[in-house]
Chains A and B, each alone.
Chain A
């Protein structure tokens, strides 16, 4: 039992409840409203169990009507000899309201948690998208460094009189250029420490040179 019921003991000439006794007879209770005001004020909006003296058995229906009129719920009417005269039909409304509320609160908490997780997932998705976009950008603008270095060396050699015959690229090791020139391209060697020049032939009319760029 969730709520405690209030017990009202009705005798032919008194009414007892909550250790309180009202000198009101059953007839006064049923017929004179003024006499019963105190009782109804004390038990208003409560569920009660009425225990009648055995001789008042015939009045239980009148009492039921009176209490219903005052919007007081009677749980049970019984006699002192434990004979039950009336039992309130079971009503699950309050229980179902409570359960529905608990279920709704549960759904609300679950939705809040789902929203939190979904927001986090959205953040991760945005980061992943940015990451992939960055990768694509790098891939699109990718220039192999060994070929880039070769182009830089070739651009520098534009000023010299070297006729390039062969370009040998060994990724991660070296770039080699073999060419013919009337003069040794010294100025080129001075400009870059990673470069070395090897003369391959000995002639007065120009020679073959091997220019090596080491990584």
Chain B
């Protein structure tokens, strides 16, 4: 036969063990949530970086800036039709041959219909699709 003191002790032990378990579980959940939060921040930063990188790689203006800066490029013809944009860029590279422009262009994601590099006249002819 259990005495009342033993019953009380059992209830207290059971309650305490239950509370300890809950505290440990709460601590674990909290730690995991913190980890998730950290991961989410990292993912957001990476996505932002990825998005910036894609914008850089697909930006027409950035490509023109690069041609202007590195090859003294100037747009001498710019025809825009509903579907495409036709450009002729006159270059005058001072210290490097125009052929090296391929090395610059290969890093770009820019959608190009046609590209013609005239090494004799130092021009770059580009036909770009127009995004609607």
Chain A contact residues, CB within 8 Å of chain B? 44-45, 71, 97, 100-101, 104-105, 107-108, 111-112, 114-115, 118-119, 121-122, 125-126, 128-129, 132-133, 135-136, 139-140, 142-144, 147-148, 150-151, 154, 164-171
Contacts and interface: CB of A to CB of B under 8 A. Distances in A.
A165 B119 CA distance: 5
A107 B22 contact: yes
Nearest to A144: B106
Interface size class, chain B:
35 or more
Contacts of A125: 36, 39-40, 43
A67 B107 CA distance: 95
A13 to B, nearest CB: 29
B36 A167 contact: no
A167 B117 contact: yes
Give the secondary structure class of B's interface: helix
Interface stretch (B50-58, B65-73, B75-83, B87-95): B50-58
B67 to A, nearest CB: 14
Contact of B36 (A100, A112, A121, A150): A121
30 contacts: A101-B14, A101-B18, A108-B18, A108-B22, A111-B22, A111-B26, A115-B25, A115-B28, A115-B29, A121-B36, A122-B35, A125-B39, A129-B46, A133-B46, A135-B50, A136-B53, A139-B50, A143-B106, A144-B108, A144-B109, A147-B102, A147-B106, A150-B102, A164-B99, A167-B99, A167-B116, A167-B119, A168-B116, A169-B115, A169-B116
